Structure 1
Amino acid sequence: MIWQLLGTLLLLNLGGILTPGPDLFLVLRLASRSRRHAIAAVLGSHLCLTGWVLLTALGAATLLGRYPWLLGWIQVAGGLWLLFMAQSLVRAGWREFSWRRRHAGVHPDIDVSSQLGSVRAAFAQGFATNLSNPKVILYFSAIMAPILPVGAPWWTVAMIVVAVVMESLVIFSTIALSVSTSTMRRKLLGAGPYIDLAAGAFFSIAGVTLLIVGGSALL
């Protein structure tokens, strides 16, 4: 029975993983330039995801439901972080776009460190981007509550947490590895500034949405 329930949970979780979000846009943007940075961001985001899933299994959704202002403050902080990321991406994309317009036909030497920062910074970006969306607790609560047996032993909870995180980690790592191949990076080289601008626009929308939702909870 537990394996059937676990399979159902992983199927439901798959839909959430494949839904475009800030984590996916960040990984795609980094993977188009550097495999190491993309993998670092994946690991950072999934370290945070592990914490979210653990909190969900321990009943954090009940706490957030009882104190909506707590969720509101976390969402406001997350919205501000996403807006900070958005302006950084837009500035980077516009700077590269302007350079290409002034030097038409010349391919710039790509300095990954100057464009993306260190691998450690990419890990931190992945962690902070996932941290910016506390509603993931409510999402996991919605798909886990009907499946997780009441009074389930610790090993059942641990198995579910590991399975959910590993499913997401494998999919995101596969995306990062696929997009960061030499062939794909060459194809995406010309689209670099457009990817930055598109990611910046998405992060702006997500950030403003979080600010509005979080601010409403505080009023």
Structure 2
Amino acid sequence: MSPYALPLAELALANFIGMISPGPAFLLVSRAAAGRGRAAGFGLSLGVAIAATTWAAAACFGVALVMARFAPLYEAIQIAGGLYLVWIGISAWRAPPPELDLAAPSGSPGFLRAVATGAALNLGNPKIVIFFTSIFVALLPAHTPLWLSAAAIAIVGLQEVTWYCLVTLLFSRARVQRAYRRAGLWIERTVGTLLIAIGARILGAAV
């Protein structure tokens, strides 16, 4: 067995535990899948995975250390991310439940917009790069070969897109969508309240 197999397995487990903890990405993907169908859910899943992979790559190349030295940059990203979550939460409160659009093709503007939303959501959370830096430093060798860093980044991206696509498949089932149509307004307001609370907590930590 390769001496790197165990560190990679431990990294995958640590990322999986952190990933499945309910947070803004889970709320948005499940809400989109239930309210707008699989295309929107898959788009958000892809965007979230792209951003997580970007932060994982940044962690491998020491971006967390740069952010530690340039605190205003870190705080600026935090503030932008917090404001973005608050804005999405307010939008969820103000807008009626969206109509289901199950026929939307994966290449439609709605899909691409969902990808951009998912990416912006995770890119606006610089704490992710701190998380990846901590587990990479703790679990990977001090002088990590380039191929091992690439494998770790690939594991993160694959896990993220697989998990959120599974969330999409679950919440886009007809039974879940029927429940969403019955209670859509209150679901939107509950999700909106949670997103506003998370955004406010991020803003509170940044200022």
What TM-score do you get using the length of structure 2 for normalisation? 0.90
CA deviation map 1:10-46 (0-9, x unaligned): 1111111111111110001001021110100111111
Partner letter of residue 79 of structure 1? G
Partner letter of residue 65 of structure 1? A
Matches of 2:183 and 2:199, distance apart in 1? 24
> In 2, are the aligned partners of 1:45 and 1:123 still within 8 Å (CA)?
yes
Q: Which runs of 5+ in 2 are unaligned?
A: 103-108
CA deviation map 1:60-116 (0-9, x unaligned): 111111222211111011111111111101112xx45xxxxxxxxxxxx93549xxx
Matches of 1:37 and 1:21, distance apart in 2? 18
Match of residue 106 from structure 2: none
TM-fit CA distance, 1:193: 1.4
State the identity %. 29
Matches of 1:84 and 1:123, distance apart in 2? 17
SS of equivalent residue, structure 1 residue 145:
helix
Match of residue 50 from structure 2: 47
Match of residue 194 from structure 1: 186
Change (3 A) 1:88 1:151: same
Matches of 2:13 and 2:100, distance apart in 1? 40
| Rg larger for | 1
Q: What does 1:139-218 correspond to in 2, within 5 Å? A: 139-215=131-207
TM-fit CA distance, 1:155: 0.5
What TM-score do you get using the length of structure 1 for normalisation? 0.85
Q: Alignment partner for residue 65 of structure 1, among 68, 78, 92?
A: 68
Q: Which runs of 5+ in 1 are unaligned?
A: 97-108
Q: Alignment partner for residue 6 of structure 1, among 5, 8, 28?
A: 8
The answer as to 2:84 corresponding to 1:81 is yes
SS of equivalent residue, structure 2 residue 139:
coil
Mean alpha-carbon deviation: is it higher for 185-194 or for 132-141? 185-194
Partner letter of residue 9 of structure 2? G
The answer as to 2:28 corresponding to 1:21 is no
